[in-house]
Amino acid sequence: MQIKNSVALVTGANRGIGRALVEVLLERGASRVYATGRDVPSLDAVAQLDSRVRTLKLDVKSAADARTAAERAKDVTLLIHNAAILSLGGVADVPLDDVRENMETNFFGTLNVINAFVPVIEQQRGSIVNMLTMVALASMPVLWAYNASKAAGWALSNAVRDELDPRGIQVSALHVAYMDTDMAAAVPADQKTDPAIVAALALDGVAAGAPEILADDLTRQVKAALAG
C-alpha cells in the first residue's frame, strides 16, 4: 500500500518505536496519524510534532477502548499495533500476575485492536502491522514471559493474515531485536538499532506488501537459522 496520503493509527505512540513510527509516517506524507496510548497527556509531545497528529485514548487491554477508538477513527487505512510491556526474570521469579499482564497486553491487546479495526480497514482495503520481536522466533530464558506473549502474537499474525487476505487486508509482522528505547535501556548501545531506522524499514515493508519484516541483522540470522 501507499504510505503517502494514508491515514495511520499507532498504538503505544508516546515514546520509543511508537513515536518513531509517527515521525516517519509524517515524513512520508501520511495525511493523518492517530497517536494512541493509555494516558492521553503522555501524548502531548507527539501531538505537537505536526497538525496532522490526532491523539486518542486506547488501553489495548480494553476491548471497549479499542471499539471506541475504531468508532472515532473510521478513516484509518494503516493500523500499526505497537503497544507492549516486558517482564524480566526466571520462570520461578516472575509473578503470575505479571505473566498474565504480558499476555493481556501483548497478545490479547493485539487481538482487541485487530477485532475492533478490521471493519474499518476492510472498507479501506488497508494494512495491519503487528510489532513483534526476534524473541517471538527464538526464546531467551530471562525474557520468557515476554517471549511467550510475543510468540502468541506471531501465531495470531499468521492466522489473521490468512483469514483477512481474501477481505483485501494486508497483515505484516515486524520482528526486531534490540532498539534504543527505554525497554532495552540495559542493553549496550552498540547492540541496539535506532528506532527511526526500524520505523523506516517497517513502512518499506508495508509498501512492498511483505508478510514479515526483519528489521536487523540479528533477527535475520535467527530467522535463517530456524529456516535451516
pLDDT one-digit tens code per residue, 4-42: 999 999 999 999 999 999 999 999 999 999 999 999 999
Query: C-alpha grid cell for residue 214?
Result: 526483519
Alpha carbon separation from 122 to 77, 93, 166, 168, 201 (Å, rounded): 9, 43, 10, 6, 24
Query: Residue 8: which H helix or E strand, with range?
Result: strand 7-10
- CATH code, 121: 3.40.50.720
Strand partners, 212: 173
| Residue at 86 is within a domain | yes
- For the chain, how many structural domains are there in total? 1
Is residue 223 included in any domain, yes or no?
A: yes
Longest alpha-carbon distance in the chain: 49
Q: How far apart are CA 54 and CA 104, in angstroms?
A: 26
**Out of 1-10, 67-76, 108-117, 182-191, which region has the weakest mean confidence (pLDDT)?**
182-191
Domain that holds residue 200: 7-227
Cell 526466571 belongs to which residue? 90
| CA geometry: angle 123, 128, 134, nearest 5 deg | 170
Q: Is residue 2 part of a domain?
A: no
pLDDT of residue 185: 55
Position 179 scores a pLDDT of 72
Terminal-residue alpha carbon distance, the chain: 31
Determine, yes or no, domain membership for 29.
Answer: yes
Q: Binning pLDDT at 50, 70 and 90, where does residue 181 land?
A: low
pLDDT the model gives residue 177: 87
Q: Look at residue 196 and tell me if it is in a domain.
A: yes
The answer as to whether 1 is a domain residue is: no
**pLDDT per residue as tens digits for the range 122-142:** 999 999 999 999 989 988 889
The answer to whether residue 188 scores a pLDDT higher than 60 is no
Position with higher pLDDT, 206 vs 228: 206
pTM (whole model) above 0.95: no
pLDDT at 184 over 80: no
What is the full DSSP assignment across 96-131?
HHHHHHHHIIIIIHHHHHHHHHHHHHHHHT-EEEEE
Name the residue among 212, 66, 203, 200 with its Cα closest to residue 132. Answer: 212
122 within some domain: yes
Q: Report in angstroms the alpha-carbon separations of 111 from 3, 129, 190.
A: 24, 12, 34
pLDDT tens figures, 39-85: 999 999 999 999 999 999 999 999 999 999 999 999 999 999 999 99
What is the reported pLDDT for 139? Answer: 83
Contact 124, 168 (CB under 8 A): no
